[in-house]
């Protein structure tokens, strides 16, 4: 009798987390010096200080594009990007970026406790089989198959990439902490 088996994850979402090894101090200083009042700052893809960021991101998105099985007659193209600077009260409503295909978030500077990035499982039916609240759950170990939420703890120099269909938001953190992030939307286009 054989009772061993392998669980195959099917219909998966995905998440990439990687450090870019960039000069985050210079980027932080540039953001601080360039902008004083705005909390959402549009980017134009030709900022000299972000040249290495754009190059690294392009390489990662090219590799991800192939890993996701897209045709070689297509490629990822930067669509829009912006800097978020939040140091006061944060209103974080779950949202998606419907005009994009892939979403990238890079953290040049975050202070501890400024709030985790949280994703909501797009398969809402999971909750019926694995219902859970913070103090009332029937789950012992959270994993890929039973989780309604998935959290990323932001760190300096961390890049996060995920599909645009994932609802995401910043979990409420300490409102007195500073959090700088660069968001970038990427779209699949034909070559």
Partner 1 sequence: MEVAYFFPSCVWLEKLNFDLEKLKQDLDLFAEKGRLIERSNMAGLQYDNYLNADLSDAILRTFPRVEGKIVKNPFVYMWVNRNPKGARNSRHTHITYTRNLLLSGVYYVKVPKDSGRIRFYDPRNISIMNPPDNEYYNDSNTYNFVQPVKDMILFFPSWFEHDVEENKSNDERISIGFNIFSEVEEIKMGNAYNVE
Least Cα distance to 113 among 167, 160, 171 occurs for: 171
Smallest separation, CB 167 to partner 1 (Å):
7
Residue of 36, 72, 88, 95 that binds partner 1 (CB under 8 A): 95
174 binds partner 1 (CB under 8 A): no
99 binds partner 1 (CB under 8 A): yes
Closest CB to partner 1 among residues 37, 136: 136
172 binds partner 1 (CB under 8 A): yes
Radius of gyration of the chain (CA): 18
165 binds partner 1 (CB under 8 A): yes
Residue 69: left if φ>0, alpha if ψ -120 to 50, beta else—which one? left
Which stretch of DSSP H or E encloses residue 59?
helix 51-67
Smallest separation, CB 175 to partner 1 (Å):
9
Choices 27-35, 46-54, 117-125, 150-158 (CB under 8 A): range interacting with partner 1: 117-125
Which stretch of DSSP H or E encloses residue 65?
helix 51-67
Binding track, positions 127-146, relative to partner 1; x by CB under 8 A: xx--x-xxxx-x--------
Dist. CA 120–CA 62, nearest whole Å: 26
Is residue 57 exposed (0-12), middle (13-18) or buried (19+ Cβ within 10 Å)?
A: buried
Choices 44-52, 57-65, 125-133, 153-161 (CB under 8 A): range interacting with partner 1: 125-133
């Amino acid at each position: 009798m054989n009772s061993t088996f392998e669980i195959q994850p099917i219909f998966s979402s995905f998440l990439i987390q990687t450090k870019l090894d960039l000069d985050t101090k210079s980027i932080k200083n540039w953001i601080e010096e360039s902008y004083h009042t705005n909390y959402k700052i549009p980017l134009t893809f030709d900022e000299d200080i972000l040249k290495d960021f754009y190059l690294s991101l392009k390489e990662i998105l090219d590799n991800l594009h192939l890993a996701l099985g897209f045709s070689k007659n297509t490629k990822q193209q930067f669509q829009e990007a912006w800097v978020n600077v939040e140091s006061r009260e944060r209103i974080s409503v779950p949202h998606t970026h419907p005009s994009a295909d892939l979403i990238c978030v890079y953290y040049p500077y975050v202070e501890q406790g400024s709030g985790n990035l949280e994703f909501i499982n797009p398969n809402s039916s999971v909750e019926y089989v694995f219902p859970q609240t913070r103090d009332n759950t029937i789950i012992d170990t959270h994993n890929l198959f039973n989780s309604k939420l998935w959290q990323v703890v932001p760190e300096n120099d961390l890049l996060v990439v995920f599909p645009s269909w994932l609802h995401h938001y910043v979990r409420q953190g300490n409102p007195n902490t500073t959090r700088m992030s660069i968001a970038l939307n990427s779209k699949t286009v034909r070559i």
